[in-house]
């Protein structure tokens, strides 16, 4: 292989996810091994436009694999959504003689990367970094495992007080368009109900489920709610249930941005390292406009267009299992 790639840039964009630093570290150290120059772009696409770019060495990524967040910071850029903004970003990259870019982020990040490559021909490889696990073509995204573990730990603690006071708790987790966090959290914590955007489960079905629980004289319960489910917020659902079950004292806990933070799990560190390593390898072999995905424990190259346009939904068998196990 005649390798013409000499300079690679890496950035993080969109919502932060535990494990992003592990991916940055992998990109930098893989580039260093192959004697490539690597540049970090701060603050996502905004930094690309404004020229907030620095050369990174191996020492710059020492002792970051265990840290949450991203050392390169992140932002959402309105300017990059315009042709003028993307033109400025292109000129910045050319001023640094960048031959390829590793974009770590989610759907919005990859949409920008796909458009940018089509317009200006800059080779782009995406690394899926989003706690929602909603990108098509990969079994896992960086940050998902950590977010679920954080949510499960929170629900376990809520269970103690729910049991002590014989209460019904509605726990809202992140997932405006995706229910993967809620589904896995619900199964992992033994929740009595799960409401996600991809399932048409309505409040009436939940009420019937709770009636079955009441007949068994189960005096407390936990329901995990994805913030984007069609029945409303956890507060909305709690108000409906309160009118039907006077014996319950529904309480609501919203875990919120706690799910984004914290030290990444071993799994997130591992997949982030693999994806970062292979992203550089793809660029060196002149493969671009792709995302590094993991399917059946193997790295695959997924067209960015597929990753952003095709939908990924929880397996029906998982939904069936979750319902059976909650009875």
Instruction: Give every CB contact of residue 47 below 8 A, 6+ residues apart in sequence.
Output: 11, 41, 53, 72, 73, 75
The residue ranges of every structural domain in the chain are 7-143+264-309, 147-260
**Distance, CA of 193 to CA of 223 (rounded, Å):** 4
Q: Which two tokens stand for residue 111?
A: 């949409």
CB atoms within 10 A of CB 109: 30
Q: What is the pLDDT of residues 144-171, one digit of tens each?
A: 999 999 999 999 999 998 888 878 899 9
pTM: 0.94
Residues of the chain with pLDDT > 90, as a percent, come to 79
Q: What is the pLDDT of residues 178-224, one digit of tens each?
A: 999 999 999 999 998 899 998 877 788 888 878 777 776 665 689 99
Q: What is the pLDDT of residues 112-132, one digit of tens each?
A: 999 999 999 999 999 999 999
**In CATH terms, are 7-143+264-309 and 147-260 the same topology?**
yes
Q: Are 307 and 326 in contact (CB under 8 A)?
A: no
Q: What is the pLDDT of residues 292-322, one digit of tens each?
A: 999 999 999 999 999 999 999 999 899 899 9
Q: Is 132 a catalytic residue?
A: yes
Q: Are 56 and 42 in contact (CB under 8 A)?
A: no
What dotted CATH number matches 7-143+264-309? 3.40.50.450
Q: What is the mean pLDDT of the chain?
A: 93
Written out in words, the top-level CATH class of the domain with range 147-260 is alpha beta
Q: Which of 16, 99, 132, 289 is catalytic?
A: 132
Instruction: Give every CB contact of residue 229 below 8 A, 6+ residues apart in sequence.
Output: 179, 182, 195, 196, 197
Q: Are 133 and 140 in contact (CB under 8 A)?
A: yes
């Amino acid at each position: 292989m005649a390798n013409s790639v000499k300079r690679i840039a890496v950035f993080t964009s969109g919502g932060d996810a535990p494990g992003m630093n592990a991916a940055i570290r992998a990109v930098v150290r893989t580039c260093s091994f192959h004697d490539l120059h690597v540049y970090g772009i701060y603050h996502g696409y905004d930094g690309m436009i404004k020229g907030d770019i620095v050369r990174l060495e191996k020492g710059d990524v020492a002792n970051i694999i265990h840290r949450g967040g991203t050392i390169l910071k992140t932002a959402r850029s309105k300017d990059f959504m315009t042709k003028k903004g993307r033109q400025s970003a292109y000129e910045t990259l050319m001023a640094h003689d960048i031959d390829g870019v590793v974009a770590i982020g989610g759907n919005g990040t990859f949409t920008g990367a796909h458009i940018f490559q089509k317009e200006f021909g800059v080779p782009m490889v995406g690394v899926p970094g989003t706690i929602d696990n909603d990108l098509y073509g990969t079994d896992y995204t960086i940050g998902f495992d950590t977010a679920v573990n954080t949510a499960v730990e929170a629900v376990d603690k809520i269970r103690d007080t729910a049991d002590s006071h014989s209460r019904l708790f509605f726990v809202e987790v992140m997932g405006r368009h995706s229910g993967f966090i809620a589904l896995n959290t619900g199964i992992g914590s033994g929740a009595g109900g799960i409401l996600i955007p991809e399932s048409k489960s309505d409040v009436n079905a939940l009420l019937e489920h709770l009636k079955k629980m009441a007949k068994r004289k189960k005096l407390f319960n936990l329901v995990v709610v994805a913030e984007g489910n069609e029945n409303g917020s956890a507060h909305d659902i709690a108000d409906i249930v309160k009118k039907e079950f006077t014996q319950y004292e529904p309480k609501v806990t919203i875990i919120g941005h706690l799910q984004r933070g914290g030290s990444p799990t071993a799994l997130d560190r591992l997949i982030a390292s693999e994806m970062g390593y292979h992203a550089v390898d793809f660029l060196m072999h002149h493969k671009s406009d792709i995302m590094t995905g993991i399917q059946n424990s193997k790295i695959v190259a997924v067209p960015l267009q597929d990753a952003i346009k095709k939908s990924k939904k929880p397996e029906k068998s998982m939904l069936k299992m979750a319902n059976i196990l909650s009875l």
